[in-house]
Amino acid sequence: MRAVAQRVSTASVEVEGAEVGAIGPGLLVYLGAAEGDGATDVAYLAAKIAGLRVFEDDAGKMSRSVRETGGAVLVVSQFTLLGDVRRGRRPSFTAAAAPELAEGLVEDGVRALREQGLQVATGRFRTTMRVRADVEGPVTILLDSRKAF
């Protein structure tokens, strides 16, 4: 699985003009599932996201996690994180999990984050979404359960 986590003051997602998820301070997480991903990948990313120390402490150092700050997480499914553009200009998505598998993995990821004690809002799988975010820093972290980067 791959994720892009951004530190935000607010974030929201709309589907067909209606807000389906919103958070205040916390993390906006774009989450994509790869072919072959499973429970180990979900657990790895959930633990990383919950413990990611990207929030400032009193000294101004990034040493606090979203859990420690009482922040929330907005998870938006994003198969395009698995896009490969090494050849040509049109992305290939063959590394992305099939939608039926990916939806379950994303749901498992949301459940795992909630089990970490986090408040989690979501987008809606397999829809066109409009995501709005006030990114702070900006702080943007790339995560990959297979440790490709």
Name the average pLDDT for the chain.
97
Give the integer Cα–Cα distance in Å for 106 and 126.
11
- Residue 66, pLDDT score: 98
17-57 confidence digits (pLDDT tens)? 999 999 999 999 999 999 999 999 999 999 999 999 999 99
In this structure, of 25-29, 51-55, 107-111, 145-149, the range with the lowest mean pLDDT score is: 145-149
Whether residue 138 is preceded by a cis peptide bond, meaning omega within 30 degrees of 0, is yes
Residue ranges of domains in the chain, CATH in brackets: 2-142 (3.50.80.10)
Q: Which two tokens stand for residue 34?
A: 């790869």
Q: Which two tokens stand for residue 131?
A: 């995501």
The catalytic residues are 78-80
pLDDT interval class at 1 (50, 70, 90): very high
